[in-house]
């Protein structure tokens, strides 16, 4: 199929299923992921993952995180910094430990146990943020802790991926990992000092341009540019775009027309491709993994993040129900777990069955989290009254 027809089919089905799911009271991202599963190799096999779709999906996750950053006030968000750090660390430690233990329990070898620990460690920041956006909870105290923890989580994920690559290839070692850490630190420092000045200056300059779409173009260019820089520093695209969104948030929110137009650009076009592309990568493999093992993985995945999220945030939120939702919000796994699994499979660290089991766990966590979070917030609101 011609790539343009593929993109049309993906966005069309994603929007239709997203709308359907939303009418049943659940976040629309579930329908978008389902669209990918339906069109992809798993069911109809009309669209296979390809570089055009990946390119659109990359832009989708970038603008999603950019617009999520832009919805937040930087100073308010900075207050969640400490809570996010503690929650992020606990939210990685628990599922990793649980993963290693589960592997040991079912008799996997040492490398496979370490792999499971790493594959379970990292939250999908895209799914978490999108669920919060769909539920209109991004700006709540719970939402901001989840986002801050997911950012921390991603940084730890990069380090863990470095460890895995070292294990898998023998190349690298702890010198390389230390260097990775230094580069990440430099990235954060530069973007929050010099980068911030450049970003604000370019955006403000764009307002005096003659061509009336200029601030729109410049905002998108900043999102894409910072994403590329983050990736060069070894981080996920999304982290750079999120920071740029935070930096530009006040300026963009003060111009309602611009804000709406950028939100349309993100949610009305590109992000649907990102979520559908997750579904495209899913296939019902012939090495069918055992169902009890998958159930064990899903339980461990949720129990680990819920325990970590709860323990990390309870001191800050001082409310059990809210801290449980933080844990839930960190539970979806996504791109990074899939990348980790691919690296491990390709280097022979793990079996094809273990690989398939992890991908099934990822899909289940993607469908289950938004449903559970939507229920969690409903209960919270029926307890405390509707949100402000």
Question: Which spans of this chain sit near a second copy (rule: CB under 8 A)?
Answer: 2-5, 7-8, 11-12, 15, 18-19, 22-23, 28, 51-52, 55, 58-59, 209-211, 213-214, 216-218, 220-221, 224-225, 227-228, 257, 260-261, 263-265, 267-269, 272
- Residue 194 token pair: 């010099």
Helices 81-105 and 291-317, packing angle to 10 deg: 150
166 vs 261, which CB is nearer to a second copy? 261
Beta-carbon contacts of 381 under 8 Å, excluding residues fewer than 6 positions away, are 387
254 vs 286, which CB is nearer to a second copy? 254
CA-CA distance, 56 to 69, in Å (whole number)? Answer: 20
28 vs 80, which CB is nearer to a second copy? 28
Quote the least distance from Cβ 72 to a second copy, whole Å. 20
Quote the least distance from Cβ 277 to a second copy, whole Å. 15
83 vs 227, which CB is nearer to a second copy? 227
DSSP state of 195: I
135 in helix, strand or coil?
coil
Quote the least distance from Cβ 215 to a second copy, whole Å. 9
Quote the least distance from Cβ 36 to a second copy, whole Å. 16
CA-CA distance, 358 to 365, in Å (whole number)? Answer: 10
Residue holding tokens 């919060």?
132
91 vs 225, which CB is nearer to a second copy? 225
The count of other CB atoms within 10 Å of the CB of residue 109 is 13
CA-CA distance, 358 to 356, in Å (whole number)? Answer: 5
Beta-carbon contacts of 177 under 8 Å, excluding residues fewer than 6 positions away, are 159, 162, 163, 166
216 vs 293, which CB is nearer to a second copy? 216
Quote the least distance from Cβ 301 to a second copy, whole Å. 29
272 vs 314, which CB is nearer to a second copy? 272
Quote the least distance from Cβ 228 to a second copy, whole Å. 6
Quote the least distance from Cβ 19 to a second copy, whole Å. 5
104 vs 269, which CB is nearer to a second copy? 269
**CB of 297 within 8 A of CB of 358?**
yes
Residue ranges of alpha helices (H) inside the chain are 3-23, 29-39, 51-71, 74-79, 81-105, 110-121, 125-134, 141-169, 174-190, 196-206, 214-232, 237-253, 256-265, 271-280, 291-317, 320-329, 335-346, 352-384
Quote the least distance from Cβ 310 to a second copy, whole Å. 32
């Amino acid at each position: 199929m011609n790539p343009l027809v593929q993109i049309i089919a993906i966005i069309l089905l994603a929007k239709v299923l997203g709308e359907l799911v939303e009418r049943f009271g659940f976040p629309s991202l579930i329908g978008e992921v389902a669209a990918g599963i339906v069109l992809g190799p798993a069911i109809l096999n009309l669209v296979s993952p390809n570089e055009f779709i990946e390119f659109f999906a990359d832009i989708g996750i970038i603008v999603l995180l950019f617009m999520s950053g832009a919805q937040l006030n930087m100073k308010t968000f900075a207050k969640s910094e400490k809570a996010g750090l503690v929650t992020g660390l606990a939210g990685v430690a628990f599922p990793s430990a649980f993963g290693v233990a589960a592997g040991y329990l079912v008799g996997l070898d040492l490398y496979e146990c370490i792999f499971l620990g790493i594959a379970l460690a990292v939250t999908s920041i895209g799914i978490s943020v999108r669920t919060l956006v769909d539920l209109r909870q991004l700006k709540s105290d719970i939402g901001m802790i989840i986002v801050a923890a997911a950012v921390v989580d991603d940084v730890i994920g990069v380090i863990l991926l470095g460890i895995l690559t070292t294990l898998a290839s023998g190349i690298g070692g702890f010198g390389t990992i230390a260097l990775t850490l230094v580069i990440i630190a430099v990235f954060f420092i530069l973007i929050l000092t010099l980068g911030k000045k450049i970003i604000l200056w370019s955006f403000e300059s764009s307002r005096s341009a003659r061509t009336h779409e200029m601030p729109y173009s410049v905002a998108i260019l900043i999102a894409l540019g910072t994403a590329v820089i983050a990736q060069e520093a070894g981080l996920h695209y999304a982290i750079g775009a999120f920071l740029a969104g935070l930096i530009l948030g006040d300026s963009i929110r003060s111009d309602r027309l611009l804000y709406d137009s950028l939100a349309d650009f993100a949610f009305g076009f590109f992000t649907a491709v990102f979520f559908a592309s997750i579904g495209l990568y899913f296939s019902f493999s012939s090495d069918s993994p055992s169902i009890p093992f998958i159930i064990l993985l899903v339980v461990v995945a949720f129990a680990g993040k819920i325990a970590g999220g709860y323990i990390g945030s309870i001191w800050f939120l001082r409310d059990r129900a809210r801290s449980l939702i933080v844990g839930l919000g960190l539970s979806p796994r996504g791109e990074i777990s899939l990348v980790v699994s691919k690296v491990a499979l390709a280097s022979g660290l793990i079996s094809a069955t273990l690989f398939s089991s992890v991908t099934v766990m990822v899909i289940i966590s993607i469908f289950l989290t938004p449903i559970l979070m939507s229920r969690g917030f409903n209960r919270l609101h029926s307890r405390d009254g509707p949100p402000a």
